[in-house]
Chain A
Protein backbone atom coordinates (compact mmCIF):
# COMPACT_ATOMS: atom_id res chain seq x y z
CA UNK A 1 0.00 0.00 0.00
CA UNK A 2 1.39 3.35 -1.00
CA UNK A 3 0.58 6.75 0.36
CA UNK A 4 -0.35 8.07 -3.03
CA UNK A 5 -3.77 9.70 -2.62
CA UNK A 6 -6.48 8.73 -5.11
CA UNK A 7 -9.26 10.73 -3.56
CA UNK A 8 -8.90 13.79 -1.38
CA UNK A 9 -11.55 15.88 0.31
CA UNK A 10 -10.21 19.22 1.43
CA UNK A 11 -12.28 21.20 3.94
CA UNK A 12 -15.50 20.05 2.35
CA UNK A 13 -18.64 21.59 3.76
CA UNK A 14 -22.11 20.63 2.65
CA UNK A 15 -24.89 22.75 3.95
CA UNK A 16 -28.65 22.16 3.52
CA UNK A 17 -30.38 25.29 4.76
CA UNK A 18 -29.31 25.57 8.38
CA UNK A 19 -27.97 22.03 8.60
CA UNK A 20 -24.32 21.30 8.01
CA UNK A 21 -24.32 17.71 6.79
CA UNK A 22 -20.56 17.97 6.38
CA UNK A 23 -18.42 20.49 8.20
CA UNK A 24 -14.86 21.11 7.03
CA UNK A 25 -14.23 17.45 6.34
CA UNK A 26 -10.76 16.39 5.27
CA UNK A 27 -10.35 12.88 4.01
CA UNK A 28 -7.69 11.13 2.01
CA UNK A 29 -8.04 7.73 0.40
CA UNK A 30 -4.80 6.17 -0.78
CA UNK A 31 -4.26 3.96 -3.75
CA UNK A 32 -4.90 0.29 -3.14
CA UNK A 33 -6.34 0.54 0.34
CA UNK A 34 -9.65 -0.32 1.90
CA UNK A 35 -10.72 2.78 3.75
CA UNK A 36 -13.80 2.51 5.94
CA UNK A 37 -16.09 5.39 6.71
CA UNK A 38 -18.10 4.87 9.87
CA UNK A 39 -20.26 6.91 12.16
CA UNK A 40 -23.70 6.95 13.77
CA UNK A 41 -26.82 7.39 11.64
CA UNK A 42 -27.01 10.86 10.14
CA UNK A 43 -23.30 11.49 10.56
CA UNK A 44 -22.94 12.40 6.88
CA UNK A 45 -21.41 9.24 5.41
CA UNK A 46 -23.69 8.98 2.39
CA UNK A 47 -23.37 12.72 1.92
CA UNK A 48 -19.63 12.17 1.42
CA UNK A 49 -20.47 9.73 -1.39
CA UNK A 50 -22.95 12.18 -2.86
CA UNK A 51 -20.53 15.10 -2.98
CA UNK A 52 -17.77 12.92 -4.44
CA UNK A 53 -19.97 11.50 -7.21
CA UNK A 54 -21.42 14.89 -8.08
CA UNK A 55 -24.95 14.33 -6.77
CA UNK A 56 -24.47 17.36 -4.55
CA UNK A 57 -22.23 20.33 -5.18
CA UNK A 58 -20.36 21.03 -1.96
CA UNK A 59 -21.03 24.41 -0.37
CA UNK A 60 -17.35 24.87 0.27
CA UNK A 61 -14.07 23.03 -0.09
CA UNK A 62 -12.48 20.99 -2.80
CA UNK A 63 -12.51 17.40 -3.94
CA UNK A 64 -9.49 16.06 -5.80
CA UNK A 65 -9.33 12.85 -7.78
CA UNK A 66 -5.76 11.89 -8.68
CA UNK A 67 -4.88 15.50 -8.03
CA UNK A 68 -7.54 16.88 -10.37
CA UNK A 69 -10.43 18.91 -9.04
CA UNK A 70 -13.92 17.50 -9.59
CA UNK A 71 -15.47 20.93 -9.42
CA UNK A 72 -18.16 21.50 -12.04
CA UNK A 73 -17.88 18.00 -13.49
CA UNK A 74 -21.03 16.19 -14.58
CA UNK A 75 -21.94 13.01 -12.74
CA UNK A 76 -21.32 10.82 -15.76
CA UNK A 77 -17.96 12.51 -16.37
CA UNK A 78 -16.92 11.78 -12.79
CA UNK A 79 -17.87 8.14 -13.32
CA UNK A 80 -15.87 8.09 -16.53
CA UNK A 81 -12.85 9.51 -14.72
CA UNK A 82 -12.84 6.45 -12.48
CA UNK A 83 -15.16 6.84 -9.50
CA UNK A 84 -17.99 4.33 -9.16
CA UNK A 85 -20.47 3.73 -6.40
CA UNK A 86 -23.21 1.50 -5.07
CA UNK A 87 -26.34 2.57 -3.24
CA UNK A 88 -27.50 2.04 0.29
CA UNK A 89 -30.97 1.05 -0.93
CA UNK A 90 -30.40 -1.28 -3.85
CA UNK A 91 -31.06 0.73 -7.01
CA UNK A 92 -30.58 -1.65 -9.89
CA UNK A 93 -32.24 -1.37 -13.27
CA UNK A 94 -34.86 -3.91 -12.24
CA UNK A 95 -36.32 -4.62 -15.66
CA UNK A 96 -32.97 -5.32 -17.24
CA UNK A 97 -31.12 -8.59 -16.91
CA UNK A 98 -28.08 -8.77 -14.65
CA UNK A 99 -25.86 -8.85 -17.71
CA UNK A 100 -27.51 -5.75 -19.22
CA UNK A 101 -27.10 -3.93 -15.92
CA UNK A 102 -23.34 -4.45 -16.06
CA UNK A 103 -23.02 -3.81 -19.82
CA UNK A 104 -24.80 -0.48 -19.35
CA UNK A 105 -22.02 0.47 -16.97
CA UNK A 106 -19.24 -0.74 -19.29
CA UNK A 107 -20.67 1.51 -22.04
CA UNK A 108 -19.20 4.56 -20.32
CA UNK A 109 -15.84 4.15 -22.06
CA UNK A 110 -17.26 3.23 -25.46
CA UNK A 111 -16.96 5.55 -28.43
CA UNK A 112 -19.77 4.43 -30.71
CA UNK A 113 -23.12 6.08 -30.12
CA UNK A 114 -26.40 6.34 -31.95
CA UNK A 115 -25.13 6.57 -35.51
CA UNK A 116 -22.63 3.75 -35.04
CA UNK A 117 -25.39 1.59 -33.61
CA UNK A 118 -27.77 2.28 -36.50
CA UNK A 119 -25.11 1.50 -39.09
CA UNK A 120 -23.78 -1.40 -36.98
CA UNK A 121 -20.21 -0.27 -37.67
CA UNK A 122 -17.26 -2.58 -36.95
CA UNK A 123 -16.38 -0.47 -33.92
CA UNK A 124 -19.90 -0.73 -32.55
CA UNK A 125 -19.86 -4.51 -33.05
CA UNK A 126 -16.44 -4.78 -31.42
CA UNK A 127 -17.49 -2.69 -28.44
CA UNK A 128 -20.74 -4.61 -28.00
CA UNK A 129 -18.83 -7.88 -27.96
CA UNK A 130 -16.15 -6.58 -25.60
CA UNK A 131 -18.79 -5.18 -23.23
CA UNK A 132 -20.60 -8.50 -23.12
CA UNK A 133 -17.39 -10.43 -22.40
CA UNK A 134 -16.29 -7.99 -19.75
CA UNK A 135 -19.69 -8.05 -18.06
CA UNK A 136 -19.62 -11.85 -17.94
CA UNK A 137 -16.13 -11.75 -16.51
CA UNK A 138 -17.16 -9.33 -13.74
CA UNK A 139 -20.29 -11.33 -12.92
CA UNK A 140 -18.12 -14.44 -12.67
CA UNK A 141 -15.73 -12.58 -10.36
CA UNK A 142 -18.67 -11.59 -8.17
CA UNK A 143 -19.95 -15.16 -8.21
CA UNK A 144 -23.28 -14.41 -9.90
CA UNK A 145 -22.63 -15.28 -13.55
CA UNK A 146 -25.34 -17.97 -13.38
CA UNK A 147 -27.82 -15.12 -12.85
CA UNK A 148 -26.75 -13.20 -15.95
CA UNK A 149 -29.99 -13.73 -17.90
CA UNK A 150 -32.36 -13.09 -15.02
CA UNK A 151 -34.09 -9.78 -14.53
CA UNK A 152 -32.33 -7.87 -11.77
CA UNK A 153 -35.54 -7.43 -9.81
CA UNK A 154 -36.03 -11.21 -9.63
CA UNK A 155 -32.63 -11.87 -8.06
CA UNK A 156 -32.39 -12.87 -4.39
CA UNK A 157 -31.48 -9.98 -2.15
CA UNK A 158 -27.87 -10.98 -1.59
CA UNK A 159 -27.26 -11.35 -5.31
CA UNK A 160 -28.82 -7.94 -5.92
CA UNK A 161 -26.26 -6.44 -3.57
CA UNK A 162 -23.50 -8.27 -5.42
CA UNK A 163 -24.89 -7.11 -8.75
CA UNK A 164 -24.74 -3.53 -7.51
CA UNK A 165 -21.02 -3.96 -6.90
CA UNK A 166 -20.61 -5.73 -10.25
CA UNK A 167 -22.31 -2.83 -12.03
CA UNK A 168 -20.01 -0.35 -10.28
CA UNK A 169 -16.96 -2.40 -11.34
CA UNK A 170 -18.35 -2.39 -14.89
CA UNK A 171 -17.36 1.25 -15.26
CA UNK A 172 -13.68 0.23 -14.80
CA UNK A 173 -13.20 2.53 -11.83
CA UNK A 174 -10.06 3.29 -9.91
CA UNK A 175 -12.00 3.72 -6.71
CA UNK A 176 -15.30 2.10 -5.74
CA UNK A 177 -17.49 3.62 -3.09
CA UNK A 178 -19.53 0.89 -1.39
CA UNK A 179 -22.50 2.17 0.60
CA UNK A 180 -23.38 -0.43 3.25
CA UNK A 181 -22.87 -3.42 0.96
CA UNK A 182 -23.59 -5.87 3.80
CA UNK A 183 -26.83 -4.28 4.99
CA UNK A 184 -29.35 -6.99 5.78
CA UNK A 185 -26.82 -9.82 5.52
CA UNK A 186 -26.52 -12.64 8.03
CA UNK A 187 -23.10 -13.33 9.63
CA UNK A 188 -22.02 -15.97 7.10
CA UNK A 189 -23.05 -13.77 4.15
CA UNK A 190 -21.16 -10.89 5.74
CA UNK A 191 -18.08 -13.04 6.01
CA UNK A 192 -18.13 -14.01 2.34
CA UNK A 193 -18.76 -10.39 1.35
CA UNK A 194 -15.76 -9.30 3.43
CA UNK A 195 -13.61 -11.80 1.52
CA UNK A 196 -15.02 -10.46 -1.73
CA UNK A 197 -14.15 -6.86 -0.80
CA UNK A 198 -10.58 -7.93 -0.06
CA UNK A 199 -10.52 -9.67 -3.45
CA UNK A 200 -11.73 -6.47 -5.09
CA UNK A 201 -8.92 -4.54 -3.41
CA UNK A 202 -6.37 -7.19 -4.44
CA UNK A 203 -7.53 -6.76 -8.04
CA UNK A 204 -6.20 -3.23 -7.92
CA UNK A 205 -9.29 -1.23 -7.05
CA UNK A 206 -9.22 1.24 -4.19
CA UNK A 207 -12.22 0.84 -1.88
CA UNK A 208 -14.03 3.41 0.23
CA UNK A 209 -16.55 1.58 2.36
CA UNK A 210 -19.47 2.68 4.49
CA UNK A 211 -20.48 -0.02 6.90
CA UNK A 212 -22.10 -0.43 10.29
CA UNK A 213 -20.82 -3.88 11.12
CA UNK A 214 -17.75 -3.29 13.27
CA UNK A 215 -16.34 -6.80 13.06
CA UNK A 216 -16.43 -6.58 9.25
CA UNK A 217 -14.79 -3.15 9.31
CA UNK A 218 -12.11 -4.06 11.79
CA UNK A 219 -11.32 -7.27 9.92
CA UNK A 220 -10.64 -5.88 6.47
CA UNK A 221 -10.01 -2.12 6.62
CA UNK A 222 -6.57 -0.65 6.26
CA UNK A 223 -7.81 2.58 7.74
CA UNK A 224 -10.96 3.84 9.43
CA UNK A 225 -12.35 7.38 9.32
CA UNK A 226 -15.11 8.30 11.75
CA UNK A 227 -17.74 10.95 11.12
CA UNK A 228 -20.04 12.40 13.75
CA UNK A 229 -22.53 15.20 13.09
CA UNK A 230 -20.76 16.04 9.85
CA UNK A 231 -17.33 16.32 11.37
CA UNK A 232 -14.45 13.90 11.15
CA UNK A 233 -13.48 12.93 14.68
CA UNK A 234 -10.95 10.19 13.98
CA UNK A 235 -8.91 8.78 11.12
CA UNK A 236 -6.43 6.03 11.86
CA UNK A 237 -5.66 2.32 11.91
CA UNK A 238 -8.68 0.22 12.97
CA UNK A 239 -7.09 -0.85 16.23
CA UNK A 240 -6.33 2.76 17.20
CA UNK A 241 -9.75 4.09 16.25
CA UNK A 242 -11.40 1.36 18.26
CA UNK A 243 -9.97 2.76 21.47
CA UNK A 244 -10.39 6.44 20.64
CA UNK A 245 -12.51 7.96 23.46
CA UNK A 246 -14.19 10.39 21.06
CA UNK A 247 -15.37 7.50 18.88
CA UNK A 248 -16.65 5.55 21.83
CA UNK A 249 -18.45 8.68 22.97
CA UNK A 250 -20.03 9.22 19.56
CA UNK A 251 -21.37 5.70 19.47
CA UNK A 252 -22.22 5.10 23.10
CA UNK A 253 -22.65 8.58 24.55
CA UNK A 254 -21.00 10.19 27.57
CA UNK A 255 -21.14 8.40 30.93
CA UNK A 256 -23.57 10.11 33.29
CA UNK A 257 -20.99 10.96 35.92
CA UNK A 258 -18.68 12.63 33.44
CA UNK A 259 -21.16 15.20 32.19
Chain B
Protein backbone atom coordinates (compact mmCIF):
# COMPACT_ATOMS: atom_id res chain seq x y z
CA UNK B 1 0.00 0.00 0.00
CA UNK B 2 1.47 3.39 -0.94
CA UNK B 3 2.16 5.85 1.83
CA UNK B 4 -0.82 8.09 2.37
CA UNK B 5 0.08 11.20 4.33
CA UNK B 6 -3.52 12.24 4.98
CA UNK B 7 -4.65 8.89 6.35
CA UNK B 8 -1.42 8.36 8.30
CA UNK B 9 -1.82 11.76 9.90
CA UNK B 10 -5.51 11.27 10.59
CA UNK B 11 -4.93 7.84 12.13
CA UNK B 12 -2.08 9.11 14.30
CA UNK B 13 -4.30 11.92 15.55
CA UNK B 14 -7.31 9.66 16.13
CA UNK B 15 -5.26 7.15 18.10
CA UNK B 16 -3.63 9.72 20.35
CA UNK B 17 -4.89 10.69 23.76
CA UNK B 18 -5.27 14.25 24.94
CA UNK B 19 -1.64 14.71 26.05
CA UNK B 20 -0.20 13.11 22.94
CA UNK B 21 -2.30 15.49 20.89
CA UNK B 22 -0.98 18.48 22.82
CA UNK B 23 2.50 17.13 22.17
CA UNK B 24 1.93 16.76 18.41
CA UNK B 25 0.37 20.21 18.17
CA UNK B 26 3.22 21.65 20.26
CA UNK B 27 5.90 20.12 18.03
CA UNK B 28 4.19 21.47 14.90
CA UNK B 29 3.79 24.95 16.38
CA UNK B 30 7.36 25.14 17.71
CA UNK B 31 8.60 23.84 14.38
CA UNK B 32 6.67 26.53 12.54
CA UNK B 33 8.03 29.25 14.83
CA UNK B 34 11.56 27.92 14.30
CA UNK B 35 11.40 28.05 10.50
CA UNK B 36 13.46 31.28 10.27
CA UNK B 37 16.43 29.21 11.54
CA UNK B 38 16.53 27.50 8.15
CA UNK B 39 17.90 30.65 6.58
CA UNK B 40 21.09 29.91 4.70
CA UNK B 41 20.33 26.25 4.05
CA UNK B 42 19.44 24.78 0.65
CA UNK B 43 15.92 26.13 1.20
CA UNK B 44 17.25 29.66 0.93
CA UNK B 45 15.56 31.82 -1.63
CA UNK B 46 17.74 33.78 -4.02
CA UNK B 47 17.11 37.50 -4.56
CA UNK B 48 14.71 37.82 -1.57
CA UNK B 49 15.67 37.17 2.08
CA UNK B 50 14.31 33.80 3.20
CA UNK B 51 12.64 35.08 6.37
CA UNK B 52 10.92 37.84 4.44
CA UNK B 53 9.57 35.20 2.04
CA UNK B 54 8.20 33.37 5.07
CA UNK B 55 6.02 36.38 5.85
CA UNK B 56 5.14 37.35 2.31
CA UNK B 57 4.15 35.53 0.19
CA UNK B 58 4.05 32.33 2.26
CA UNK B 59 2.48 33.43 5.57
CA UNK B 60 0.04 35.94 4.10
CA UNK B 61 -1.03 33.52 1.37
CA UNK B 62 -1.49 30.62 3.79
CA UNK B 63 -3.75 32.85 5.87
CA UNK B 64 -5.80 33.85 2.84
CA UNK B 65 -5.98 30.29 1.55
CA UNK B 66 -7.39 29.22 4.92
CA UNK B 67 -10.07 31.89 4.68
CA UNK B 68 -10.98 31.08 1.10
CA UNK B 69 -11.05 27.38 1.96
CA UNK B 70 -14.06 27.96 4.21
CA UNK B 71 -15.92 29.56 1.31
CA UNK B 72 -14.82 27.33 -1.58
CA UNK B 73 -13.68 24.11 0.08
CA UNK B 74 -16.14 23.73 2.91
CA UNK B 75 -19.26 25.43 1.59
CA UNK B 76 -18.70 24.90 -2.12
CA UNK B 77 -19.23 28.56 -3.08
CA UNK B 78 -16.91 29.47 -5.93
CA UNK B 79 -15.55 32.92 -5.04
CA UNK B 80 -13.29 34.39 -7.74
CA UNK B 81 -13.03 37.82 -6.14
CA UNK B 82 -11.43 36.98 -2.82
CA UNK B 83 -8.71 39.58 -3.38
CA UNK B 84 -11.38 42.24 -2.72
CA UNK B 85 -11.35 41.51 1.03
CA UNK B 86 -7.55 41.54 1.09
CA UNK B 87 -7.72 44.94 -0.58
CA UNK B 88 -10.34 46.21 1.88
CA UNK B 89 -8.08 45.22 4.78
CA UNK B 90 -5.00 46.81 3.22
CA UNK B 91 -6.78 50.03 2.28
CA UNK B 92 -8.30 50.26 5.75
CA UNK B 93 -4.76 50.22 7.12
CA UNK B 94 -3.68 52.80 4.56
CA UNK B 95 -6.54 55.22 5.05
CA UNK B 96 -6.67 55.00 8.83
CA UNK B 97 -2.94 55.56 9.17
CA UNK B 98 -3.25 58.60 6.90
CA UNK B 99 -5.99 60.24 8.91
CA UNK B 100 -5.64 58.91 12.45
CA UNK B 101 -2.95 58.01 14.94
CA UNK B 102 -4.13 54.42 15.33
CA UNK B 103 -1.38 51.80 15.26
CA UNK B 104 -1.49 48.51 13.38
CA UNK B 105 -2.91 46.49 16.26
CA UNK B 106 -5.74 48.98 16.68
CA UNK B 107 -6.36 49.07 12.94
CA UNK B 108 -6.47 45.27 12.68
CA UNK B 109 -9.95 44.81 14.23
CA UNK B 110 -11.28 47.71 12.15
CA UNK B 111 -9.87 46.17 8.99
CA UNK B 112 -11.39 42.81 9.88
CA UNK B 113 -14.75 44.41 10.65
CA UNK B 114 -14.82 46.37 7.39
CA UNK B 115 -13.84 43.29 5.40
CA UNK B 116 -16.65 41.38 7.13
CA UNK B 117 -19.05 44.17 6.30
CA UNK B 118 -18.07 44.10 2.64
CA UNK B 119 -18.39 40.31 2.70
CA UNK B 120 -21.85 40.70 4.18
CA UNK B 121 -22.96 43.26 1.61
CA UNK B 122 -21.61 41.24 -1.31
CA UNK B 123 -22.95 37.98 0.11
CA UNK B 124 -26.40 39.33 0.88
CA UNK B 125 -26.70 40.45 -2.72
CA UNK B 126 -25.22 37.52 -4.61
CA UNK B 127 -25.68 34.39 -2.50
CA UNK B 128 -29.05 33.69 -4.07
CA UNK B 129 -27.03 32.80 -7.14
CA UNK B 130 -25.33 29.47 -7.54
CA UNK B 131 -22.34 27.94 -9.24
CA UNK B 132 -21.10 29.74 -12.33
CA UNK B 133 -23.27 32.78 -11.74
CA UNK B 134 -21.86 33.28 -8.26
CA UNK B 135 -18.33 32.92 -9.62
CA UNK B 136 -18.90 35.60 -12.24
CA UNK B 137 -20.45 38.12 -9.86
CA UNK B 138 -17.70 37.68 -7.26
CA UNK B 139 -15.13 38.07 -10.01
CA UNK B 140 -16.79 41.39 -10.87
CA UNK B 141 -16.80 42.48 -7.24
CA UNK B 142 -13.04 41.93 -6.97
CA UNK B 143 -12.50 44.16 -9.95
CA UNK B 144 -14.93 46.81 -8.70
CA UNK B 145 -12.92 47.28 -5.51
CA UNK B 146 -9.65 47.58 -7.42
CA UNK B 147 -11.02 49.96 -10.06
CA UNK B 148 -12.72 52.09 -7.43
CA UNK B 149 -9.40 52.45 -5.61
CA UNK B 150 -7.68 53.19 -8.90
CA UNK B 151 -10.03 56.07 -9.63
CA UNK B 152 -10.37 57.62 -6.17
CA UNK B 153 -7.93 60.42 -5.60
CA UNK B 154 -8.73 60.22 -1.86
CA UNK B 155 -6.82 56.95 -1.70
CA UNK B 156 -4.05 58.03 -4.04
CA UNK B 157 -5.49 56.68 -7.28
CA UNK B 158 -2.97 54.67 -9.28
CA UNK B 159 -0.14 55.87 -7.00
CA UNK B 160 -1.73 54.18 -4.02
CA UNK B 161 -0.85 55.04 -0.43
CA UNK B 162 2.72 55.18 0.79
CA UNK B 163 4.32 55.72 4.19
CA UNK B 164 1.96 53.39 6.00
CA UNK B 165 3.62 53.06 9.42
CA UNK B 166 5.02 49.76 10.67
CA UNK B 167 3.49 48.33 13.82
CA UNK B 168 4.83 49.78 17.09
CA UNK B 169 7.29 47.89 19.23
CA UNK B 170 5.22 45.38 21.20
CA UNK B 171 6.36 43.19 24.12
CA UNK B 172 9.92 44.08 23.18
CA UNK B 173 9.50 42.93 19.58
CA UNK B 174 10.39 45.63 17.11
CA UNK B 175 8.78 45.96 13.71
CA UNK B 176 10.90 47.69 11.12
CA UNK B 177 12.62 46.91 7.86
CA UNK B 178 15.01 44.48 9.54
CA UNK B 179 12.51 42.53 11.63
CA UNK B 180 11.18 40.05 9.05
CA UNK B 181 11.17 37.34 11.70
CA UNK B 182 8.77 39.20 13.98
CA UNK B 183 6.36 39.83 11.13
CA UNK B 184 6.46 36.16 10.29
CA UNK B 185 5.66 35.29 13.89
CA UNK B 186 2.66 37.63 13.92
CA UNK B 187 1.20 36.11 10.77
CA UNK B 188 1.93 32.66 12.19
CA UNK B 189 -0.08 33.51 15.32
CA UNK B 190 -2.97 34.65 13.14
CA UNK B 191 -2.72 31.43 11.11
CA UNK B 192 -2.85 29.33 14.29
CA UNK B 193 -5.87 31.25 15.61
CA UNK B 194 -7.61 30.84 12.24
CA UNK B 195 -6.92 27.11 12.16
CA UNK B 196 -8.25 26.70 15.70
CA UNK B 197 -11.44 28.59 14.86
CA UNK B 198 -12.01 26.66 11.63
CA UNK B 199 -11.44 23.36 13.42
CA UNK B 200 -13.97 24.31 16.07
CA UNK B 201 -16.52 25.35 13.47
CA UNK B 202 -15.99 22.28 11.31
CA UNK B 203 -16.76 19.87 14.13
CA UNK B 204 -19.95 21.65 15.16
CA UNK B 205 -23.20 22.87 13.69
CA UNK B 206 -21.78 25.40 11.18
CA UNK B 207 -19.39 22.79 9.79
CA UNK B 208 -22.22 20.35 9.22
CA UNK B 209 -24.36 23.06 7.68
CA UNK B 210 -21.56 24.09 5.27
CA UNK B 211 -20.80 20.49 4.41
CA UNK B 212 -24.46 19.72 3.69
CA UNK B 213 -24.78 22.85 1.55
CA UNK B 214 -21.74 21.86 -0.45
CA UNK B 215 -23.05 18.37 -1.05
CA UNK B 216 -26.68 19.11 -1.85
CA UNK B 217 -27.99 22.58 -1.19
CA UNK B 218 -31.65 21.77 -1.93
CA UNK B 219 -31.73 18.83 0.42
CA UNK B 220 -29.82 20.75 3.10
CA UNK B 221 -32.52 23.39 3.09
CA UNK B 222 -35.28 20.78 3.23
CA UNK B 223 -33.54 19.24 6.26
CA UNK B 224 -33.86 22.54 8.05
CA UNK B 225 -30.49 24.15 7.33
CA UNK B 226 -30.88 27.88 6.86
CA UNK B 227 -28.72 27.74 3.76
CA UNK B 228 -28.76 31.45 3.01
CA UNK B 229 -27.65 32.35 6.52
CA UNK B 230 -24.83 29.81 6.61
CA UNK B 231 -23.62 30.71 3.14
CA UNK B 232 -23.53 34.32 4.27
CA UNK B 233 -21.59 33.35 7.40
CA UNK B 234 -19.08 31.44 5.27
CA UNK B 235 -18.60 34.52 3.13
CA UNK B 236 -18.27 36.86 6.10
CA UNK B 237 -15.82 34.55 7.87
CA UNK B 238 -13.70 34.17 4.74
CA UNK B 239 -13.75 37.93 4.30
CA UNK B 240 -12.56 38.55 7.86
CA UNK B 241 -9.47 36.39 7.31
CA UNK B 242 -8.74 38.14 4.02
CA UNK B 243 -9.09 41.51 5.73
CA UNK B 244 -6.66 40.55 8.49
CA UNK B 245 -4.12 39.45 5.88
CA UNK B 246 -4.58 42.79 4.10
CA UNK B 247 -3.90 44.89 7.21
CA UNK B 248 -0.75 42.92 8.02
CA UNK B 249 0.52 43.09 4.48
CA UNK B 250 0.02 46.86 4.28
CA UNK B 251 1.79 47.51 7.56
CA UNK B 252 4.81 45.47 6.48
CA UNK B 253 5.00 46.68 2.88
CA UNK B 254 4.31 50.32 3.95
CA UNK B 255 2.99 50.91 0.47
CA UNK B 256 -0.11 49.76 -1.34
CA UNK B 257 -1.47 50.46 -4.81
CA UNK B 258 -4.47 49.16 -6.73
CA UNK B 259 -2.41 47.02 -9.11
CA UNK B 260 -1.23 44.86 -6.19
CA UNK B 261 -4.79 43.67 -5.69
CA UNK B 262 -5.51 42.39 -9.14
CA UNK B 263 -7.47 39.39 -10.22
CA UNK B 264 -4.37 37.15 -10.32
CA UNK B 265 -4.27 37.03 -6.53
CA UNK B 266 -7.82 35.63 -6.34
CA UNK B 267 -6.92 32.91 -8.82
CA UNK B 268 -3.61 32.19 -7.11
CA UNK B 269 -5.28 31.71 -3.72
CA UNK B 270 -7.92 29.52 -5.34
CA UNK B 271 -5.10 27.49 -6.92
CA UNK B 272 -3.58 26.95 -3.45
CA UNK B 273 -6.90 25.66 -2.14
CA UNK B 274 -7.53 23.33 -5.06
CA UNK B 275 -3.89 22.19 -5.26
CA UNK B 276 -3.68 21.43 -1.57
CA UNK B 277 -7.03 19.68 -1.28
CA UNK B 278 -10.32 21.51 -0.97
CA UNK B 279 -11.87 21.43 2.47
CA UNK B 280 -8.82 19.96 4.22
CA UNK B 281 -7.05 22.51 6.43
CA UNK B 282 -3.66 20.79 6.26
CA UNK B 283 -3.94 20.20 2.56
CA UNK B 284 -4.62 23.89 2.02
CA UNK B 285 -1.70 24.90 4.25
CA UNK B 286 0.64 22.56 2.38
CA UNK B 287 -0.63 23.74 -0.97
CA UNK B 288 -0.23 27.40 -0.12
CA UNK B 289 3.26 26.93 1.38
CA UNK B 290 4.54 24.94 -1.59
CA UNK B 291 3.01 27.04 -4.31
CA UNK B 292 4.03 30.37 -2.82
CA UNK B 293 7.52 29.10 -2.00
CA UNK B 294 8.43 27.46 -5.31
CA UNK B 295 8.31 30.62 -7.46
CA UNK B 296 10.58 32.36 -4.94
CA UNK B 297 13.00 29.42 -4.80
CA UNK B 298 13.41 29.31 -8.56
CA UNK B 299 13.58 33.05 -8.98
CA UNK B 300 17.07 32.71 -10.53
CA UNK B 301 15.54 31.43 -13.74
CA UNK B 302 13.63 34.68 -13.77
CA UNK B 303 11.01 34.83 -16.50
CA UNK B 304 10.79 31.07 -17.01
CA UNK B 305 9.74 30.49 -13.41
CA UNK B 306 6.05 31.05 -14.01
CA UNK B 307 6.28 28.53 -16.84
CA UNK B 308 7.75 25.95 -14.45
CA UNK B 309 5.12 26.89 -11.88
CA UNK B 310 2.35 26.21 -14.40
CA UNK B 311 3.97 22.94 -15.38
CA UNK B 312 4.09 21.81 -11.74
CA UNK B 313 0.40 22.66 -11.39
CA UNK B 314 -0.57 20.69 -14.49
CA UNK B 315 1.48 17.63 -13.51
CA UNK B 316 0.13 17.69 -9.97
CA UNK B 317 -3.49 18.01 -11.00
CA UNK B 318 -3.02 15.03 -13.30
CA UNK B 319 -1.40 12.89 -10.62
CA UNK B 320 -3.67 13.98 -7.77
CA UNK B 321 -6.84 15.58 -9.09
CA UNK B 322 -8.24 15.91 -5.56
CA UNK B 323 -5.22 17.83 -4.33
CA UNK B 324 -2.20 16.97 -2.20
CA UNK B 325 -4.23 15.98 0.85
CA UNK B 326 -7.85 15.52 -0.19
CA UNK B 327 -10.52 15.76 2.49
CA UNK B 328 -11.93 12.28 2.05
CA UNK B 329 -11.90 9.78 -0.74
CA UNK B 330 -14.14 11.32 -3.30
CA UNK B 331 -16.21 9.79 -6.00
CA UNK B 332 -15.77 11.10 -9.49
CA UNK B 333 -19.47 11.57 -10.12
CA UNK B 334 -21.04 14.82 -9.05
CA UNK B 335 -24.11 15.19 -6.93
CA UNK B 336 -27.40 14.97 -8.74
CA UNK B 337 -28.80 18.44 -9.07
CA UNK B 338 -31.84 19.84 -10.73
CA UNK B 339 -35.32 18.61 -10.10
CA UNK B 340 -36.17 17.30 -6.68
CA UNK B 341 -37.72 13.88 -6.89
A interface residues, Cβ below 8 angstroms from B: 46, 50, 53-55, 74-76, 79-80, 84-85, 87-89, 91, 93-96, 100, 103-105, 107-108, 110, 112-114, 117-118, 120, 124, 127-128, 151, 153, 167-168, 170-171, 179
Contact = CB atoms under 8 A, between A and B. Distances in A.
Contact of A151 (B197, B233, B328): B328
Interface in B239-277: none
A216 B64 CA distance: 56
A76 B226 contact: yes
A75 B222 contact: yes
Contacts of A108: 223-225
Contacts of B227: 76
Contact of A114 (B206, B218, B221, B223): B206
A153 B205 CA distance: 21
Given A88-B341, A114-B233, A118-B201, A75 B221 contact: yes
A53 B222 contact: yes
A93 B219 contact: yes
B340 A55 contact: yes
B212 to A, nearest CB: 5
Contacts of B225: 76, 104, 107-108
Q: How large is the interface on B (under 10, 10 to 19, 20 to 34, 35 or more residues)?
A: 20 to 34
Nearest to B335: A94
27 contacts: A50-B340, A75-B221, A76-B224, A84-B223, A87-B341, A89-B336, A91-B219, A91-B336, A93-B212, A93-B215, A94-B335, A96-B212, A100-B211, A104-B212, A107-B205, A107-B208, A108-B223, A108-B224, A113-B229, A117-B205, A118-B201, A127-B205, A128-B204, A167-B223, A168-B223, A171-B223, A179-B341
Contacts of B205: 107, 110, 112-113, 117, 124, 127-128
Contacts of A151: 328
Tell me the dominant secondary structure on chain B's binding face: helix
Contacts of A103: 208
A118 B208 contact: no
A79 to B, nearest CB: 4
B200 interface: yes
Contact of A105 (B197, B211, B224): B224
B325 interface: no
B286 interface: no
Contact of B200 (A55, A79, A113, A117): A117
| Most chain B beta carbons < 10 A, residue from A75, A89, A120 | A75
Contacts of A120: 200
B39 interface: no
A91 B216 contact: yes
Nearest to A81: B224
B209 interface: yes
A151 B327 CA distance: 13
B138 to A, nearest CB: 21
B326 to A, nearest CB: 11
Given A87-B340, A88-B341, A94-B331, A55 B204 contact: no
Nearest 5 pairs between A and B by C-beta?
A: A108-B224, A79-B224, A117-B204, A88-B341, A104-B208
A91 B217 CA distance: 11
B330 interface: yes
Given A100-B208, A107-B205, A46 B219 contact: no
Given A79-B222, A88-B341, A107-B225, 14 more contacts: A50-B340, A74-B221, A76-B224, A91-B340, A93-B216, A100-B211, A104-B225, A107-B224, A114-B237, A117-B201, A118-B197, A128-B204, A153-B331, A171-B223
A235 B328 CA distance: 48
Nearest to A56: B340
A128 B207 CA distance: 12
A139 B331 CA distance: 25
B162 to A, nearest CB: 36
A107 B204 CA distance: 10
A110 B335 CA distance: 27
